[in-house]
Amino acid sequence: MTAPRALLAAGTARLTAAGVATPRVDTELLLAHVLGVDRSRLLLADDPGPDARAAFDAALTRREHRDPLQHIIGVAWFRHIEVAVGPGVFVPRPETELLVDAVLPVLHARAAPVAVDLCSGSGALALAIADEAPSARVVAVERPGPAAEWLLRNLAGTAVEAQLADVIDPGLLAELRGSVDAVVCNPPYVPADVEVAPEVRFDPDVAVFAGPDGLAVIPHAIDRAAELLRAGGVLALEHDDTHGKAVPALLAADARWTAISAHRDLTGRPRYAVATRT
């Protein structure tokens, strides 16, 4: 067995024993990170020296302790972009990528569209929208704090604008009222007493939990979106899988919304709602 192949086998066994859900993929990504090679070229890599072996062992130990893979390698991939992540910021999840698809049509239909990402965290949604709708002005809103530091770092050198503010603030982005074409929002939404996976404990509580029913932030996000969007503008709002009825019902009870639809994620769970501003 070649050295990389043996390291991958041993690493996969360690992560399997630790209960990691995707042990082989994680081991490959950790070794690729340590060796500085693309994952697809791992088996062609030279025999790692002692320093690389020690670094790989340390990375595996962190993953055995269920540090998120993305914290260890320092980046998360999201659609066609990557963002820097680590302690203090929520690691973007694949299911959130679907929100981008929901708003691209309304953005592509305009020459100079405006999009707002509420509860932006690392800026993954805002940056993905800027990447896929390059003519759009994109504003990322995140409350001041550690996540905002990551946001500013990820937005540096891009045209995406940061607004460090609270979505509860009724004066948020007052200058954009009634002129925004799309709002995306992946807010905190997990009910406070829900047991979460070990990796989720590395996400900031403020990014994950939202009161006893998980709905402490969503009604505010809906209000801000309704104020910001022009008639015909589109909101895509992620929610907990237990909110598949509650969130569409909140929108349906509000005359500011029409064409409300409920959507599932790639695992079939209720995950986000889309609505058009009347």
Q: Binding residues for ligand SAM, per CB under 6 A?
A: 90, 92, 96, 119-122, 124-125, 142-143, 147, 166-168, 186-188, 206-207, 217
Nearer to ligand SAM, 15 or 167 (CB): 167
- The nearest distance, CB 276 to ligand SAM, in angstroms, is 21
Nearer to ligand SAM, 8 or 89 (CB): 89
Nearer to ligand SAM, 6 or 194 (CB): 194
Nearer to ligand SAM, 86 or 92 (CB): 92
- The nearest distance, CB 74 to ligand SAM, in angstroms, is 16
DSSP letter for each residue of the chain: --HHHHHHHHHHHHHHHTT-SSHHHHHHHHHHHHHTS-GGGGGGSPPP-HHHHHHHHHHHHHHHTT--HHHHHSEEEETTEEEE--TTSPPP-GGGHHHHHHHHHHHHTSSS-EEEEES-TTTHHHHHHHHHSTT-EEEEEE-SSHHHHHHHHHHTTSSPEEEE--TT-TTTTGGGTT-EEEEEE----B-TT----GGGGGS-HHHHB-STTS-SSHHHHHHHHHHHEEEEEEEEEE--GGGTTHHHHHHHTSTTEEEEEEEE-TTS-EEEEEEEE-
- The nearest distance, CB 24 to ligand SAM, in angstroms, is 25
- The nearest distance, CB 9 to ligand SAM, in angstroms, is 33
The residue sitting closest to ligand SAM, measured at its beta carbon, is 121
Nearer to ligand SAM, 52 or 83 (CB): 83
- The nearest distance, CB 250 to ligand SAM, in angstroms, is 17
